[in-house]
């Protein structure tokens, strides 16, 4: 291949030349194009190889799971549980068999307070509710359930409580402070 430059135009002493592009430059150009197609194909078309984003998402999910498992009664863990219909359903069963006698079938209150309003005697944070279920208020007529139900059922029934709060079912009149 001739590397001689070809003069295309010459006006007023100014030359425009048509030079061959150097081979090393062409090599990089074509290599980049081929790489681009390869990259697009592997990451965006086949989709079998994890992108950095996939790896990141998987790591965050694993971390979150580990954190929930390390502290299963944290507010975060109970809130996560309350978004899982299967867990809430199990909590509902515990409620029906253990709590409904005093708090009524839908939680609207009988002897015990209405758990569907936004008024709370002992706070409505997941941690407050877990404590209420675990320790009860023996001097006020609610037995402690922690040892009888075990931690798993306590968590599930608490998750269920989160799903009925704010439904404001007609039942026992509000008691305690209004908590938003
Ligand atoms: C024997 C009756 C009885 C049973 C059974 C019972 N509770 Fe209660 N519960 C009460 C009473 C009474 C109170 C009010 C305590 C007070 O006045 O401080 C109460 C209070 C509560 C509170 C706090 C309400 C607030 O306003 O802060 C929660 C939460 C609660 N109960 C959940 C449950 C759950 C969940 C169960 C079942 C695992 C259950 N209770 C079973 C009688 C009962």
Give the pLDDT of the chain (180 residues) as one tens digit per residue: 445 667 888 889 898 888 889 999 999 999 999 999 999 998 888 877 888 899 999 999 999 889 888 888 899 999 999 999 999 999 999 999 999 999 999 999 999 999 999 999 999 999 999 999 999 999 999 999 999 999 999 999 999 999 999 999 999 999 999 987
Ligand 1 site residues (CB inside 6 A) read: 98-99, 101-103, 111-113, 115, 120-122, 129, 132-133, 137, 140-143, 145, 157, 161, 175-176
Structural domain 73-178, CATH architecture:
Orthogonal Bundle (1.10)
Residue nearest (by alpha carbon) to ligand 1 atom 43: 142
Q: Ligand 1 center to residue 136 CA distance, Å?
A: 7
What's residue 70's pLDDT? 87
* Domain boundaries of the chain, sorted by first residue: 6-46, 73-178
What's residue 1's pLDDT? 44
The 8-class DSSP code of residue 139 comes to G
CA distance 145 to 25: 77
Ramachandran quadrant class, 173 (left: phi over 0; alpha: psi -120 to 50; beta: rest): beta
Ligand 1 atom, smallest distance to 141 CA: 12
What's residue 68's pLDDT? 85
Q: Ligand 1 center to residue 175 CA distance, Å?
A: 12
91 touches 83 (CB < 8 A): no
Q: Ligand 1 center to residue 163 CA distance, Å?
A: 16
Q: Hey, how many other C-beta atoms are within 10 angstroms of the C-beta on 169?
A: 16
Residue nearest (by alpha carbon) to ligand 1 atom 22: 132
What's residue 4's pLDDT? 62
Give the tokens for residue 134: 């675990």
């Amino acid at each position: 291949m001739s590397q001689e430059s070809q003069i295309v135009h010459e006006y007023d002493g100014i030359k425009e030349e048509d030079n061959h592009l150097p081979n090393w430059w062409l090599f990089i150009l074509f290599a980049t194009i081929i790489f681009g197609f390869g990259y697009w194909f592997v990451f965006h078309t086949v989709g079998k190889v994890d992108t950095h984003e996939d790896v990141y998402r998987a790591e965050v999910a694993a971390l979150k799971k580990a954190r929930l498992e390390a502290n299963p009664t944290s507010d975060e863990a109970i809130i996560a549980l309350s978004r899982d219909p299967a867990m809430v359903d199990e909590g509902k069963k515990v409620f029906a068999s253990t709590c409904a006698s005093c708090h009524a079938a839908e939680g609207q209150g009988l002897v015990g307070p209405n758990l569907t309003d936004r008024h709370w005697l002992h706070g409505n944070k997941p941690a407050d509710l877990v404590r209420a279920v675990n320790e009860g208020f023996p001097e006020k007529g609610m037995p402690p359930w922690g040892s009888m139900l075990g931690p798993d059922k306590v968590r599930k029934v608490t998750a269920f409580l989160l799903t009925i709060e704010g439904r404001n079912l007609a039942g026992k009149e509000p008691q305690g402070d209004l908590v938003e």
